[in-house]
């Protein structure tokens, strides 16, 4: 999968593939995480047209209810445009910064920190992980284009560690995870 890696950051520990930026200190805000991960670009939903050959010339014909997801990324002072896929009229774009901001309320508690974030497949998949401990990890993943009908979400991942530690962590789980999950659900285009 390392060949699909585009950009990203990792807190403290380098990844096995050796790609991305290793940070000594985790980012403190969504803006810092976005910049560290190389995700400071935006996506726009643009109307699609088909270019059709007619009698030796070409004409643009509208493709109703279909939109191209276009990434606008600055590279060396030049705006680079990439097509990430095709979506329907009802799809609502969530910019990377907005997806990451759902983590800021959790980060502000001091109980969670940004751990890793990045981009795969030329920007078609982005991710961010916030970690409290090895027991609970909060992750958000976005897809451009959203696979078939669309997919973006926040998930809580857990691992079985020591039973007593796991029990205590679940007791105070709501105190650090709920603000982030609530923010994502409120701002999600699918909620």
Domain ranges of the chain: 2-42+91-187, 44-88
Instruction: Look at 21-30, 38-47, 90-99 and tell me which has the smallest mean pLDDT.
Output: 90-99
**What b/e sequence results for 118-132 when a residue is b if at least 16 CB atoms lie within 10 Å of its CB, and e otherwise?**
bbbeebbbbbbbbbb
Contact assessment for residue 96 and residue 44, using Cβ atoms and an 8 Å cutoff: no
d(CA 57, CA 39): 39
Span 13-36, average pLDDT: 91
* pLDDT tens sequence across 43-100: 999 999 999 999 999 999 999 999 999 999 999 999 999 999 898 998 888 888 888 8
Q: How many CB atoms lie within 10 A of CB 90?
A: 9
Q: What is the pLDDT of residues 118-168, one digit of tens each?
A: 998 888 888 888 777 555 555 655 655 544 334 444 444 443 333 333 334
Q: Is the pLDDT of residue 12 over 80?
A: yes
Confidence of residue 1 (pLDDT cuts 50, 70, 90): low
Mean pLDDT of 31-44: 94
Q: CA 131 to CA 106: how far, in whole Å?
A: 10
- Give the pairing of strands 42-54 and 136-143: unpaired
Q: What is the pLDDT of residue 144?
A: 58
Q: Model-level pTM? A: 0.72
**Which pair of tokens denotes residue 163?**
């039973």
């Amino acid at each position: 999968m390392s060949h699909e890696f585009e950009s990203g950051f990792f807190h403290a520990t380098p990844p096995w593939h050796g790609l991305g930026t290793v940070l000594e200190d985790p980012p403190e805000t969504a803006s810092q995480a976005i910049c560290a991960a190389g995700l400071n670009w935006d996506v726009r939903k643009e109307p699609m047209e088909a270019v059709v050959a007619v009698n030796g010339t070409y004409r643009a014909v509208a493709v109703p209810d279909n939109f191209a997801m276009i990434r606008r990324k600055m590279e060396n002072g030049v705006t680079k445009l990439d097509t990430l896929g095709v979506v329907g009229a009802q799809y609502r774009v969530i910019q990377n910064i907005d997806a990451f901001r759902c983590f800021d309320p959790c980060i502000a508690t001091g109980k969670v920190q940004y751990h890793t974030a990045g981009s795969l497949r030329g920007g078609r998949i982005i991710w961010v992980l916030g970690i409290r401990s090895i027991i609970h990890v909060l992750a958000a993943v976005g897809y451009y284009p959203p696979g078939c009908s669309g997919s973006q979400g926040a998930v809580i991942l857990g691992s079985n560690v020591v039973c007593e530690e796991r029990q205590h962590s679940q007791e105070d789980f709501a105190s650090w995870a709920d603000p982030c999950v609530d923010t994502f659900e409120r701002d999600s285009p699918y909620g």
